[in-house]
Structures are given as C-alpha cells and as structure tokens.
C-alpha cells in the first residue's frame, strides 16, 4: 500500500472513534496515486455516498496535514469486490456444523413473504438525526443489500428510541423490493414462547425448519433471552444455520452485547461479528422534527412555540413523547380549544413537576447497578473487583453530573468515601470516555434511563 495512504490511515485511526474507523475507513480500498490525484474505491453506492459526505473532507484535511497539501481525492465504486471491503468473518472453529433440519428436502418457496412486520414502521416514517444517524444508515445499507455488507446488524439503545421501528423498516424495505424473500420479525420473547410450545408438543423439527428457512430474521429485544439456557442454545443454532447460508440477521437490544448479563459468550461473540450500531436520545432538533411529523400524522396542529417547549422540557423517549402529543390532541379536540403553550403546560403539569425534580444519588446508584447487573450494596462497598469498580465509578461520575451534591456529599452517600476518591473516579471516567466509544454510549444510555 502506498506510504502516503498508510500515513493517512494511521492518522485517521488516531482521530476517529474505533467504530467509525472500522466501519467506514476500512471499507475504502486504496487504488493508486496518479500525480496529485489519490484514487480510492468503495464497495457500493451507499458507502460511496456516506464516505463522500462525511469522510472525504476529513481525508483531504489529513492529507494536507501530512504534507500532501494540493492532493485531490477521487472515490469510485469498485468494479468487483476488493478483498478488504467486506467485514471479515472471524474463523470460528467452535461453530458446530449447523444441525441439519431433519427433513432434508429443499425448503419450499411457498412460504415466502413477510411475517410479523409492522407495516407502519418504515424508513420514510423514521426521522433521522445525529442521535440515530449511524443506526439509520446501517439499517438502510442492510435493507439495500441484505446479507452482503453487515451481518449480523446489531442495533442497541435505550427504551423507546426507535429500535423496533428501525428493525421493522429493514424488513418492510426488503420485503417491498424482494417479495420472494422470507422476512420474519420476532420479539425474542415470542421466539422463546414458540420454542417452549414446540418442545412441549414435540414439534421441534417444524420450529427449526421455520426459522432456518428465513432469508431475513429480525429479532427484537434479544436481551430477554439472556439467562434462558435452552432458548439461547436454539437461537445459537438458528443463528449459525442462517449465517452460514448467507441470510441476513438483525438483532436489537437495550444494551451493547458485552453488557447483557447472562448472555452466553458464544452468542455475544457472534453479535459482534457484524456491525454494532447505537441509537442515542434524540437532540432537541430531532425531537422537534419527530413531533412535527407525528402531529401531522395525527391531525394535530402544533404551534412552533409548543413544539420547541415539548422538545426542550419533556422526555427523550419518543414513545412517551408520542403519548404526550396524543394527550394534547385529545384535550384540544374534547374541549374544542386550539393547542397553545398555556394549555400544554396545564395538560402536562404533573409530568413537568416530576421532570423538574432533582435526581438523588440513590436513584443513580440503583439505575447504574441495574444496568451492570450488580447490587447497590456492592457499589457502595469498597470491594476492588473489576466488575464493581467500573459501575461504581460510573455512578460517582453521574452523581456529580446529574445532582447538585458536592464531592464530600457524594462520598458520604457511597458508603462514607473520601472526597478524593470521588474526584479520582470522575477524572478516570472523563479520561476513559474520551476514546472509549462503548463507555460513552453506555453512560448516555444510563443517563437517558435516569432523565426520562
Ligand atoms: N426517529 C424516529 N422517528 C420517528 N418515530 C420514532 C423515532 N424513534 C422512535 N419513534 C417512534 O417511537 C415509538 C417507540 O419506538 P420503538 O418502539 O421503535 O422504540 P424501541 O427502542 O424499540 O423501544 P423498546 O426499548 O421499548 O423496545 C414508535 O412509535 C416509533 O415509531
């Protein structure tokens, strides 16, 4: 590879988050330098558009920083797949050959179609903003090229932030474009219930045939199978069978794979094979856009000041936001009054009082403990176990951020610790979040759970 490009890559690797670097920059294949023109290739139109919009300016800037000031960059779509464009599938000696479906007849195409999808949830109805842009783009990429680029796609994020919507949008888009494909949406709970019934009525062959004949399997809220041994076992074999026959799998969860307590290691590692994309709480602009779209869909006229007020003052949970909107619409319709700021403040007054209440350190410890699946008493203790140190430091960090307590007061609540311990913990987390994408995202998820 050319030295200039190698230097550019090294520079980009230092400045971008590991996830962005490995998702986008690693998709770029260096072709050649022709005088002052750097020629690069990417595998498809989607990546081309994305890289062009988001990374070409950064690449140009990087080139000039390393001395190639007048260089131009040309980005093309590769004629054939270059070897380093598709995410590498780690060799997996431990994968048992997929247990063959006992009925080895070719799977009938009669059952093609979509199962369990909510047709309301489409890409067109999804508002994309900086908080969900990455997951949205990844979902679109999968919908455009199922089972080629990102497999599995793992979408995670806090409650009510659009995971179900997005995973259904993938299914709906694939079904629309490829009606001959079998696309199936299941919550993990439904998967488990069907498994239990199949075991009970000795219909396991049918169960296996059904899931292993899918072209696209969408599993929502996979965290619920954690700790359920038999379900995880069956899901593991379903996953392998589909993956090995190049079928698309999309999974959602409320947590990053590593943070799902009770999730088997072999499943966790498979979830990390493809692309992991997070959805964070929407910022004010995205909330405004969502409110406007939902108000229009529900025939509610929402003045600009009300939209801004709602986007600023209430929840980031989009499901709750929709609920408030419906409540406002119903009130306006029943009382035949227009929606005004004063009316909205009156209708939502209980919620607004609750939202404006300051969080307590105890609530923060409880939420952090639940996220990491540890006990509050352990967080308050002085045990130095690795599994406790991080949750404890995160809880201290959030206590400082989300309450008005001083360092000594926080120390007192954490089982009588010295204020210097609290300062040390906060500094440590601040430093770690600078380049640990996953930790940053986890802290945002916990914050979201606390402030909604
Ligand atoms: N960006 C968005 N644009 C439009 N609607 C959205 C967006 N995000 C969420 N919604 C809407 O909010 C509601 C809740 O979203 P959804 O059910 O997808 O959340 P979730 O992340 O799956 O929640 P849970 O963790 O509870 O399963 C849905 O009606 C969905 O259409």
How many Cβ atoms from other residues are within 10 Å of residue 233's Cβ? Answer: 15
Ligand 1, from 162, 166, 218: best to mutate by most atoms within 8 Å of Cβ?
Answer: 162
- How does residue 352 score in pLDDT terms, banded at 50, 70 and 90? confident
Question: Residue 233 contacts by C-beta under 8 Å, 6 or more apart in sequence?
Answer: none
**pLDDT of 70 above 50:** yes
DSSP-assigned letters across all residues of 73-132: EEEEE-SS--TTTSPP----TTPPPPPPPSS-SPPPGGG-EEES--TT--STTPPP-TTT
- Examine the pLDDT at 439 and tell me if it is beyond 80: yes
pLDDT tens-digit series, residues 270-322: 999 889 999 988 989 999 999 999 999 889 999 999 999 999 887 778 998 89
What pLDDT, on a 0 to 100 scale, did the predictor assign at position 188? 95
Cβ of 164 closer than 6 Å to ligand 1, yes or no, is: yes
CA of 221 to the centre of ligand 1 (A): 13
This prediction has a pTM of 0.69
Q: Which residue has the higher pLDDT, 240 or 27?
A: 240
pLDDT: which is higher, 92 or 249: 249
Predicted confidence (pLDDT) at residue 25 exceeds the cutoff of 80? yes
Cα–Cα distance measured from residue 144 to residue 141, given in angstroms and rounded to the nearest whole number: 5
Q: Is the pLDDT of residue 81 over 70?
A: no
Cβ-based neighbours of 427, under 8 Å, separated by 6 or more: none
**pLDDT for 44:** 66
Q: Is the Cβ atom of 228 under 6 angstroms away from ligand 1?
A: no
Of the chain, the percentage scoring pLDDT greater than 70 comes to: 90
Residue 46 has a pLDDT of 62
Model ipTM value: 0.98
Residue located nearest, by CA, to atom 31 of ligand 1: 165
Residue 319 alpha carbon to ligand 1 centre in Å: 6
pLDDT in the model for residue 19: 59
Determine the distance separating the centroid of ligand 1 and the alpha carbon of 160, expressed in angstroms: 5
Q: What is the pLDDT of residue 89?
A: 32
Q: What is the pLDDT of residues 99-132, one digit of tens each?
A: 333 333 333 344 567 889 999 999 999 999 988 9
Q: Distance (Å, rounded) from C-alpha 149 to C-alpha 91?
A: 17
The average pLDDT across 213-230 equals: 94
Residue 108 has a pLDDT of 37
Ligand 1 centroid, distance to 320 Cα (angstroms): 9
Least confident of 37-46, 157-166, 392-401: 37-46
Maximum Cα–Cα distance for the chain, whole Å? 72
Using the atom order of ligand 1, give the atom closest to the CA of residue 127: 3
17, pLDDT greater than 80: no
> What is the average pLDDT value for the chain, to the nearest integer?
86
Paired with 219 in beta bridges are 186, 251
pLDDT (0 to 100) of residue 98 = 34
């Amino acid at each position: 590879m050319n030295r200039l490009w190698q230097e550019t890559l090294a520079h980009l690797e230092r400045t971008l988050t590991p996830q962005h670097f490995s998702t986008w920059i690693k998709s770029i294949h260096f072709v050649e330098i022709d005088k002052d023109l750097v020629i690069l290739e990417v595998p498809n139109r989607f990546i081309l558009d994305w890289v062009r919009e988001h990374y070409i300016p950064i690449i140009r800037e990087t080139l000039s920083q390393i001395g190639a000031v007048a260089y131009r960059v040309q980005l093309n779509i590769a004629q054939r797949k270059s070897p380093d464009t598709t995410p590498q599938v780690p060799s997996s000696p431990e994968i048992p050959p997929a247990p063959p479906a006992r009925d080895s007849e070719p799977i009938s195409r009669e059952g093609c179609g979509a199962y369990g999808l909510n047709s309301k949830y489409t890409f067109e109805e999804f508002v994309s903003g900086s908080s969900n842009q990455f997951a949205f783009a990844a979902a679109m990429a999968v919908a455009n090229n199922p089972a080629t680029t990102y497999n599995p796609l793992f979408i995670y994020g806090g409650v009510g932030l659009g995971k179900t919507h997005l995973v259904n949008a993938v299914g709906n888009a694939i079904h629309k474009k490829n009606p001959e494909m079998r696309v199936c949406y299941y919550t993990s709970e439904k998967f488990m219930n069907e498994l239990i019934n199949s075991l009970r009525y000795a219909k396991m062959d049918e169960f296996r045939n059904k899931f292993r004949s899918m072209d696209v399997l969408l599993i929502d809220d996979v965290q619920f199978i954690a700790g359920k041994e038999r379900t995880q076992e069956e899901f593991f074999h379903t996953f392998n069978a589909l993956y090995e026959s190049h079928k698309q799998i999309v999974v959602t969860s409320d947590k990053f794979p590593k943070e799902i307590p009770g999730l088997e290691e072999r499943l966790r590692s498979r979830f990390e094979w493809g692309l992991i994309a997070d959805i964070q709480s929407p910022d004010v602009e995205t909330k405004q856009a969502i409110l406007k779209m939902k108000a229009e869909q529900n025939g509610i006229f929402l003045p600009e000041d009300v939209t801004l007020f709602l986007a600023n003052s209430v929840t980031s949970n989009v499901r709750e936001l929709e609920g408030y909107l419906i409540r406002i619409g119903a009130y306006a319709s029943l009382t035949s009054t227009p929606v005004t700021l004063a009316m909205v403040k009156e209708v939502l007054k209980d919620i607004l009082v609750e939202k404006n209440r300051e969080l307590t350190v105890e609530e923060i410890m409880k939420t952090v403990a639940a996220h990491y699946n540890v006990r509050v008493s352990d967080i308050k203790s002085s045990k130095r176990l690795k599994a406790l140190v991080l949750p404890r430091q995160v809880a201290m960090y959030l206590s400082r951020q989300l309450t008005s307590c001083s360092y000594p007061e926080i120390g007192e609540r954490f089982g009588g610790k010295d204020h210097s311990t609290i300062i040390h913990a906060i500094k440590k987390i601040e430093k770690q979040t600078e380049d640990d994408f996953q930790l940053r995202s986890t802290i945002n998820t916990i914050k979201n759970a606390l402030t909604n």
